[in-house]
A and B are shown apart, each in its own frame.
Chain A
Amino acid sequence: MQSGKLWKEYTPYYNDALQEMWEFCCQNPELYDPTLKSVTTWLDDYLKKRLRNFRDAKYRQQRREVSAMRTESGETTDPVATLPAHPDIQPVLDIWEKTLEWVETDPDQELCSACFRKRCQVNCQALILRRFPPETPWPAIAAEFNLTPSEAKDLPKVYNRKCLPLLRKFAISQGYVEEKNRLSRRKSS
């Protein structure tokens, strides 16, 4: 790629095609026959094939899309405008609002009982609220709670060890992510 010898074109999907070409060619080197073509030509051929697929998919998508139509009386009607609003945006806003509400109310007292050492006021609820955007820097949090230098150093570690598991658990309980067993994980994408 750095040599600049590969086929180049300025399409939005070029990098996606390039990625697929590298994945395929690096995982199937036995398909290359040096008696037929140079490595660059072999890579280029596959890259062009992937680009063609992306181009065809784009055209198919465009043909499926409904465009605005002009009626006999000259008015323009857009069939898309008559469809109900897409609900996808709401779950995105919900995640922030629901998480904030859960941390603020702490219904199971799980967050406020997870304390930093023996300092009960420095608990996961207090820490998560301060680490939510706009993120309060760790030294400012340490200063607010009058932590000693060694306590201040430990604070981010304790946050990761105690608070992140509670956040992960909440995400699973809300169905934002699936619970997984890391030992049996396989390549997903």
Chain B
Amino acid sequence: MIHKAQTPQEKSIPMPITQEAQQIAIGFANEQPTQQKALQVYLNTLAVCSVNNYLRIMDIPTDLTASDSWNPVVRLASDVADLWVVGMGRLECRPVQANQTRCRGDSNTKKLSAVAIPWTRSLPLIRN
């Protein structure tokens, strides 16, 4: 399903991609049997970690381990990029190329909301 990104890049919040997030994303990507799936998982994981880091700054409790994106079996069989927000529900965190205005998304599950995360390979920051 294609969704139009609602937030213009200039209004987005820059977030640093931490070494910790990169290590987790590489670890999850290494579990995948194909390169294309590995890239999907790598970007989804960075998106989830970045939103999680932002919510940590805002002191909003989350539970990564309760998210489908943290489940190695669900990750294999589905394009998941969710973050469980305690007491609220599932937040969709989708990576989007910096020059694009639309991103992939899963409209088939009940969710709290969705966040689009523009990124570029060369930038040390991503925005959410």
Chain A interface residues (CB < 8 Å from chain B): 1-2, 12-16, 18-19, 22-23, 26-27, 92, 95-96, 99, 128, 131-135, 156-157, 159-160, 163-164, 167-168, 170-171, 174, 176-178, 180, 182, 185-189
Contact = CB atoms under 8 A, between A and B. Distances in A.
A68 B41 CA distance: 36
B71 A128 contact: no
Given A96-B33, A133-B32, A186-B86, A157 B65 contact: no
B97 interface: no
A163 B77 contact: yes
Given A16-B19, A180-B65, A187-B61, A134 B34 contact: yes
Given A163-B77, A167-B73, A2 B14 contact: yes
A182 B74 contact: no
B77 A176 contact: no
A15 B50 CA distance: 11
B93 to A, nearest CB: 15
Contacts of A12: 19
B62 interface: yes
Nearest to B27: A92
B34 to A, nearest CB: 4
Q: Which of B14, B52, B109 has the most CB of A within 10 A?
A: B109
Q: Which 8 A-B pairs have the closest CB atoms?
A: A187-B61, A15-B16, A133-B37, A171-B73, A157-B108, A133-B34, A16-B18, A185-B63
B30 interface: yes
A133 B124 CA distance: 29
A1 B84 contact: no
A170 B73 contact: yes
Contacts of B32: 96, 133
B128 to A, nearest CB: 13
Contact of A131 (B34, B53, B78, B108): B78
A171 B71 contact: yes
B58 interface: yes
